[in-house]
Amino acid sequence: MKAIPRLLLVIAVSLPAAALAQAPTESTTMHATGHFDVKVSPQTPDNPQAKASGLARLSLDKQFHGDLDATSQGEMLAAGDGSTSGAYVALETVSGKLHGRSGSFALVHRALMVAGTPREWTVVVVPGSGTGELAGLDGAMTITIVDGRHDYDFSYTLPTH
């Protein structure tokens, strides 16, 4: 008979601990804004498939200013007429500080342009790519280009511990 009260006590103590262990981490959506400088350099196709594809391959070298104080390097593939219509995909690794938190993360880009107008342009954090104080980073970046200046608005979340 004494075993039942002990069992109930163990269950009563264990349930709140289990609930706390499984509680999701809450995070607040933050915004980082600023601009970046970018150097885009055409790359020579380095294999027969790349030559045959006719895709443009470009390297990216960026310097972010503002709430994101960082550098990035990446690669872009592009297709289209080269001036008013086409598409691009890119991956880049960003390293630096985001609102004072140090680390790195990767961004993946996908965009279409039709008759000179960007359409379906997405830039998102690659899941699981955050390191250091940016581990667990999730988010999306909006890029606006006016008179050659690249401005960004980065909406993101980081887990709270």
What are the boundaries of each domain within the chain? 25-157
Instruction: Answer whether 58's CB lies under 8 Å from 79's CB.
Output: no
Instruction: Answer whether 57's CB lies under 8 Å from 42's CB.
Output: yes
pTM of the model: 0.81
Kindly report the average pLDDT of the chain as a whole number. Answer: 87
pLDDT of residue 125: 99
Q: Please enumerate in sequence order all residues whose Cβ is within 8 A of that of 109, keeping only pairs 6 or more positions apart, or say none.
A: 76, 88, 89, 90, 91, 92, 121, 122, 123
Q: Which CATH superfamily is domain 25-157 in?
A: SO1590-like (2.40.350.10)
User: What does the pLDDT look like over 90-136, one tens digit per residue?
Assistant: 999 999 999 999 999 999 999 999 998 888 899 999 999 999 999 99
The 3-state DSSP class for residue 89 equals strand
pLDDT of residue 22: 40
pLDDT of residue 9: 35
Below-70 pLDDT ranges, the chain: 1-26, 161
